[in-house]
Amino acid sequence: MSSTEVPEAAPGEVTFTLAWENTDDGLRGMLEAVNVSDHPVRLTGKPGVTPVGTDGIKLDTTTIVSLEALIPGYVVLEPGERATSPVYWSAWSGPNAGDTVIVEWNGCEAEAAVTGPRQPVSREGATNLSTSWFAKAD
């Protein structure tokens, strides 16, 4: 099966976690995806990340998608393999973030557990998040 024939990962075929750390510019994190299925799956594009508030409601944030190209624009994961994507969040002045985020990819979404700080310390400036392409983890 060629990499273009590998099916897109469905919710439940991958699990996600997000580990945040404080920096001078806000939060820097690493989103990790693990293929927990019994077959290869594909993750296409850059993931969207939406923090969930302590009340269980998605926070009104936006994930910025920059336009740099990456060919082929997806990663294929065999069972048990991992991929990561850097995530950044510079400021937040809204409701408190909880310990989960919603990860969106190619029309799918799944909940991810968060470790580290829950939200940026800074309450001023841009409140958007940004992510990068998934890459296979070693």
Q: Strand pairing partners for 48?
A: 104
pLDDT, position 67: 75
4-55 pLDDT, tens digit per residue, is 799 999 999 999 999 999 999 999 999 999 999 999 999 999 999 999 999 9
Q: Which amino acid is at 38?
A: D
What does pLDDT average to over the chain? Answer: 94
Residue 111 confidence (pLDDT): 98
Q: Which domains does the chain have, with CATH numbers?
A: 3-136 (2.60.40.10)
- Do the Cβ atoms of 89 and 29 come closer than 8 Å? yes
Concatenated DSSP letters for 56-69?
SPBPS--EE-----
Q: Is the pLDDT of residue 3 over 70?
A: no
- pTM over 0.85? The answer is yes
